[in-house]
Structure 1
Amino acid sequence: MKKTLVALAVAAAGMGLTASPALAAASSPLAPTTEAVAVSSPIRGGDGDWCEGCVKKYIKKYKKQLKGDPGKPGKQGKPGKNGKDGKDGVAKPIQIVTGDPIRIEPGQAAGGEVACPAGTTVTGGGYHQDDVVNSYNYISRPNAEGTAWSVSFKNIGQAGDNADTVTPYAMCLPLN
């Protein structure tokens, strides 16, 4: 404790917070002196010894002045330990939902949607066609809400040609 008080007093003395040059000389370990110094100051008691309460009072009073410049940043610490692995998720099967067949008459366009059941979201889809001769697909995508798969076709056949039929499907993933 006495060494700490001496160090603080030396710091205070270095800032010119002493009562006399003799006290600064007596406080500094770098300035030895052979003459006896009997000094009474605010940071020494009446008997010349360091007064713990006096030093604390002085430090409190001049705390802002006793702060030095910030030190250099310390070295980077060691990396922490890896955390525990989380629980494995449960793979949920994708449901394939088949829609109603769509009949496309020659010279006409037609389309439809396949909705996913409640509690699922659409992740993909498409259509199945049997003997489609004259129709082409121009839309195959999720609807704007992400709840169904939409398809649309155009039959470019002429009057008297056969109608084409396609069956849409949606791939639905359970949310929970």
Structure 2
Amino acid sequence: MRPTAGAQGVQGTGAAGPSGPQGAAGPTGTAGAQGVQGVQGVQGPQGDKGDRGDTGSAGAAGAAGAQGPKGDAGVQGPQGDAGAQGPQGSQGLKGDARAQGPQGLKGDAGAQGPQGLKGDQGERGPAGPTRDPIALVGEVQAVAKGTSGNYNGPVCPAGTKVIGGGFYQTATPSDANLLTSHPNTDANRWQVWLKNPAGAGDTGVRVYTICQPTR
């Protein structure tokens, strides 16, 4: 017969004794079964951006892609400058002469055309040169008393000829005597010949020439 346990005694209340020395470590026990995975923790704040890393080495060239579709024609560019003239080509060979063909028959005269319209009146032409005579009076020429001589009038200008003339004395009374008065065609002017008597006073004379335009 198995004996029964007795009742537990009252626990003593004495003071705890001093700790004993630590015992030697026991052998490692067998690993326990893996516990249940814990709940995922809350995501922490995003960290600061790290420094840029060094550039990596270039990769190997890829294979050439397929040719793309033909693009639209571009806008026409400006015309280029003219090129330099090329050298002159050599002269070609002279062709063979052909025999002249026979002369054709003379054609019939055509019918006379209708009379044309009357043309517009032309502009009035410039006035022609004047044909009026020109009188030229010479300077006073001295005629001393007791002298005689020829006194000439002005020479007619180019394009005119002498057709007349005369004279008059500057002193009063006019004592010089006229001997001749006539045109000098060689010199193209009028000429007079006067004689002033010795008993007369000194005088002067103006000879004038009358010229007629010739064109």
* TM-score of the two chains, using structure 1 as the length reference: 0.44
Q: Give the greater-gyration-radius structure (CA).
A: 2
More helix by share: 1
More strand by share: 1
